[in-house]
């Protein structure tokens, strides 16, 4: 017998990449990239990238029937699994990042494939703020090249400009774009909650801008960067940072350089007030993300 198709309520209509396993909004309001193992919201209130490792409900905030919008208290030993690399954040604002230990980080070098040179510079040693500079193969020493200031992704809690992922990526971008680049190594949450990352990136921009009028400490910037063609770029959380830095350029003194453009690669945004589809996300999940 033919039946009228059931219309799912608005909160149930979520985008599913693998429709054979539908993710229900009450179970997971976040986009699931590997939904062959769906993580329920009661088990994991954070975005799951590859949920092959499911966090136990006892280790995460649990939504209870008696208090659906209340985030339960956690002990100092409580943990929340943030990604398949087991990035874990403790209640004491410390993090364990087994997949991002820094052991695989690459040193600055001359890349034999692209001919791009790189070197590391300290910006603020007292807080551990640094950056990696990239210079393409120079054919005419008198040419001034566009300047790219890049901010890596990682949800504000992981990754590094020195990791193979970003080091190799910047080598490729600099070679193909024939541009000078500065990739900022900003501090991460939860040890350094926002706005620490924003302030680090702004300090890096100010250091770069100090070369505009000449006399700066970095010869690569002095000799080869065109400060009338400056671009901010980043991916995910880094795109969020690039967006904020571009806005800040509009109302703070930067030393005279000209921001020519901003490149946002799958940017991650999270505001104080929910908009669009964010309005369907339960309050306890918003609180969890905001605590980062």
Contacts of 4 (CB under 8 A, 6+ apart): none
Q: Quote the CA–CA distance of 196 and 274 in Å, as a whole number.
A: 23
Question: Can 236 be counted among the known catalytic residues?
Answer: yes
Cβ burial 152-179 (10 Å sphere, 16+ → b, else e):
bbbbbbbbbbbbebbbebbbebbbeeeb
How is residue 51 written in tokens? 């949920």
Q: What are the phi and psi torsion angles at 146 (to 5°)?
A: -55, 150
Angle between helices 196-209 and 237-251 (to 10 degrees): 60
Q: Is 59 exposed, middle or buried (CB count within 10 Å of its CB: 0-12, 13-18, 19+)?
A: middle
Q: Among all residues, which ones are annotated catalytic?
A: 236
């Amino acid at each position: 017998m033919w039946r009228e198709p059931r219309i799912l309520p608005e909160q149930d209509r979520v985008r599913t990449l693998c429709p054979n396993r539908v993710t229900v909004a009450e179970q997971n309001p976040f986009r699931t990239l590997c939904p062959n193992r769906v993580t329920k919201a009661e088990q994991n209130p954070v975005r799951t990238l590859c949920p092959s490792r499911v966090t136990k409900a006892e280790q995460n905030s649990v939504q209870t029937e008696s208090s659906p919008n209340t985030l339960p208290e956690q002990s100092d030993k409580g943990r929340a699994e943030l990604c398949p690399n087991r990035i874990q954040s403790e209640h004491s604002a410390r993090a364990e990042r087994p997949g991002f230990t820094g052991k695989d980080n690459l040193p600055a070098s001359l890349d034999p494939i692209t001919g791009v040179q790189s070197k590391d510079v300290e910006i603020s040693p007292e807080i551990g703020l640094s950056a990696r500079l990239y210079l393409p193969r120079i054919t005419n020493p008198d040419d001034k090249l566009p300047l790219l200031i890049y901010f890596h992704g990682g949800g504000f809690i992981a990754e590094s400009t020195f990791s193979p992922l970003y080091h190799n990526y910047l080598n490729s971008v600099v070679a193909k774009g024939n541009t000078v680049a500065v990739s900022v190594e900003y501090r991460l949450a939860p040890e350094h909650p926002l706005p620490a990352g924003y302030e680090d990136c702004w300090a890096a921009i100010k250091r770069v801008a100090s070369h505009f009028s000449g006399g700066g400490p970095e010869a690569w910037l002095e000799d080869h960067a065109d400060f009338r063609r400056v671009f901010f770029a980043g991916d995910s959380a880094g795109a969020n940072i690039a967006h904020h830095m571009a806005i800040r350029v509009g109302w703070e003194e930067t030393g005279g350089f000209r921001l020519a453009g901003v490149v946002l690669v799958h940017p991650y945004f999270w505001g104080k007030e929910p908009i669009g589809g964010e309005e369907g996300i339960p309050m306890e999940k918003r609180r969890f993300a905001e605590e980062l």
